[in-house]
């Protein structure tokens, strides 16, 4: 990086020196009469003077160009592809007009040629920046042109509208997204921004062992998603500004008109306040849990002691905790339990029950 910096700084300074030579050429007679110096000395003096001036101002000039570039990129990132093409068409018209203006401006004494060049370079730079900043979408659109004719042959494909989803880091690590795709609960395309991949990599490289394990699991899930669903799971080049990950995900969701898939409760709440559709896998899991009623009998295996005296704890297949009175004495065994109460909360549900000690002639259906 330092080599490129030094090269462009010298190059920029050399341009300044050439401008100095041109100024000396234009006013050579005046400077000879004023200083009585040899014309070679005047040329060298102006070259060195402008060379060092441009050398000193280069850092500020570079920061100014970088600032302008970031502003242009930020603006362009808010545009859809159709808006971008419209913008490029407008710039093309502007380029033609600028060329016509250049032919007039260049006739202005002294500054005309430089002003004309500046205008032409500025318009050219905007075109290049516009193309490079949206190159992925443009390439994707070009690829889709060839597929469009095949899709038109199917009437169903024409009418079918696919949803778009953005996948959060927490949902990747969770892993249940694979089951949701397998069961066709998600019928659209899933997009994973590069800033989510970067966050996942940071978690996988964490010094904290538990975080590192979760991050590596997330990378494994990501590999499976790409291998098993290459047509539905797409990586998109999105880094954006230095904003929190959740904020960038919400802003990208608004721009793409996509739903967010997550297991993060806080992200879900923030997105909902901003009218962003969210699919929280945990909320879906809780909603699908079967509600049992008092008097219903279920069979479970007692795993451990409960908090209260002589209580035992077991779990249903869906993870629902079952607290059994007198269950402490049956740890490691399967028992028949009669439900006495059922509690449903925002973070999950819990069942309380008593042992059916005589076994009974029940038709227990829940295993």
Q: Are residues 78 and 120 in the same domain?
A: yes
Q: For residue 130, which of 174, 197, 81 has the smallest C-alpha distance? A: 81
Q: Please check whether residue 366 lies inside any domain of the structure.
A: no
Predicted pLDDT of residue 324: 92
Give how far Cα 225 sits from Cα of 194, 211, 229, Å.
15, 21, 6
Instruction: Evaluate whether 245 touches 169 at the Cβ level (below 8 Å).
Output: yes
Q: Is the model's pLDDT at 234 over the cut of 60?
A: yes
Q: Are residues 81 and 101 in the same domain?
A: yes
Q: Is the model's pLDDT at 201 over the cut of 60?
A: yes
Instruction: Evaluate whether 366 touches 359 at the Cβ level (below 8 Å).
Output: no
Domain end among 70, 103, 136: 136
Predicted pLDDT of residue 312: 92
Predicted pLDDT of residue 364: 39
Element (H, E) at 24: helix 2-26
Q: Are residues 93 and 18 in the same domain?
A: yes
Q: Please check whether residue 363 lies inside any domain of the structure.
A: no
Per-residue pLDDT band at 313 (split at 50, 70, 90): very high
| Structure-derived torsion over alpha carbons of residues 99, 103, 105, 110, reported in degrees to the nearest 10 | 120
Per-residue pLDDT band at 70 (split at 50, 70, 90): confident
Q: Please check whether residue 348 lies inside any domain of the structure.
A: yes
| CATH code of the domain in which 264 resides | 3.40.50.1010
Q: Is the model's pLDDT at 159 over the cut of 60?
A: no
Q: Is the model's pLDDT at 333 over the cut of 60?
A: yes
| CATH code of the domain in which 319 resides | 2.40.50.140
Q: Is the model's pLDDT at 366 over the cut of 60?
A: no
pLDDT in tens, 235-286: 888 766 677 888 888 888 888 888 999 988 888 888 888 888 888 888 787 7
DSSP track, 227-260: HH-TTTEEEE----SS--HHHHHHHHHHHHT-EE
Query: Strand 164-167 vs strand 259-262: parallel, antiparallel, or unpaired?
Result: parallel
Q: Please check whether residue 143 lies inside any domain of the structure.
A: no
Mean pLDDT computed over every residue of the chain: 78
**Two structure tokens written together for 198:** 């970067």
Per-residue pLDDT band at 328 (split at 50, 70, 90): confident
Q: For 322-350, what is the mean pLDDT? A: 83
Looking at the chain, the whole-number percentage of residues with pLDDT higher than 90 is 4
* Domain around 275: 161-286
Q: For 166-179, what is the mean pLDDT? A: 88
Q: Are residues 193 and 298 in the same domain?
A: no
Q: Are residues 261 and 316 in the same domain?
A: no
Count of all residues that appear for the chain in the document: 367
Q: Please check whether residue 364 lies inside any domain of the structure.
A: no
Per-residue pLDDT band at 152 (split at 50, 70, 90): low
Per-residue pLDDT band at 41 (split at 50, 70, 90): confident
């Amino acid at each position: 990086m330092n080599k490129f910096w030094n090269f462009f700084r010298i190059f920029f300074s050399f341009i300044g020196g050439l401008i100095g030579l041109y100024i000396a050429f234009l006013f050579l007679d005046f400077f000879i009469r004023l200083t009585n110096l040899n014309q070679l000395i005047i040329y060298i003096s102006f070259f060195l003077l402008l060379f060092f001036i441009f050398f000193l101002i280069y850092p500020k000039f570079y920061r100014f160009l970088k600032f302008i570039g970031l502003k242009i990129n930020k603006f362009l990132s808010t545009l859809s592809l159709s808006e971008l093409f419209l913008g490029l068409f407008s710039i093309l018209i502007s380029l033609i007009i600028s060329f016509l203006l250049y032919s007039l401006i260049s006739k202005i004494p002294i500054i005309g040629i430089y002003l004309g060049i500046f205008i032409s370079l500025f318009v050219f730079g905007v075109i290049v920046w516009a193309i490079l900043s949206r190159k992925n979408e443009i390439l994707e659109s070009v690829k889709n042109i060839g597929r469009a004719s095949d899709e038109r042959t199917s009437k169903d494909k024409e009418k079918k509208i696919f949803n778009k989803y953005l996948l959060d880091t927490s949902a990747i690590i969770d892993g249940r997204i694979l089951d949701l795709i397998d069961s066709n609960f998600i019928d659209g395309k899933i997009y994973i921004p590069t800033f989510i991949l970067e966050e996942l990599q940071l978690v996988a490289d964490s010094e904290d062992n538990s975080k590192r394990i979760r991050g590596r699991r997330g990378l494994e899930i990501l590999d499976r998603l790409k291998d098993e669903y290459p047509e539905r799971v797409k990586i998109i080049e999105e880094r954006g500004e230095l904003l929190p990950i959740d904020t960038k995900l919400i802003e990208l969701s608004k721009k793409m008109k996509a739903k967010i898939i997550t297991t993060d409760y806080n992200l879900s709440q923030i997105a909902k306040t901003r009218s962003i559709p969210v699919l929280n896998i945990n909320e879906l899991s809780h909603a699908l849990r079967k509600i049992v009623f008092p008097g219903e009998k279920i069979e479970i295996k007692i795993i451990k002691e409960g908090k209260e005296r002589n209580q035992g704890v077991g779990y249903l297949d869906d993870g629902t905790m079952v607290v059994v009175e007198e269950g402490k004495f049956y740890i490691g065994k399967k028992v028949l339990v009669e439900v006495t109460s059922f509690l449903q909360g925002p973070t999950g549900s819990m069942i309380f029950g008593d042992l059916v000690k005589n076994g009974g002639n029940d038709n227990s259906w829940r295993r």
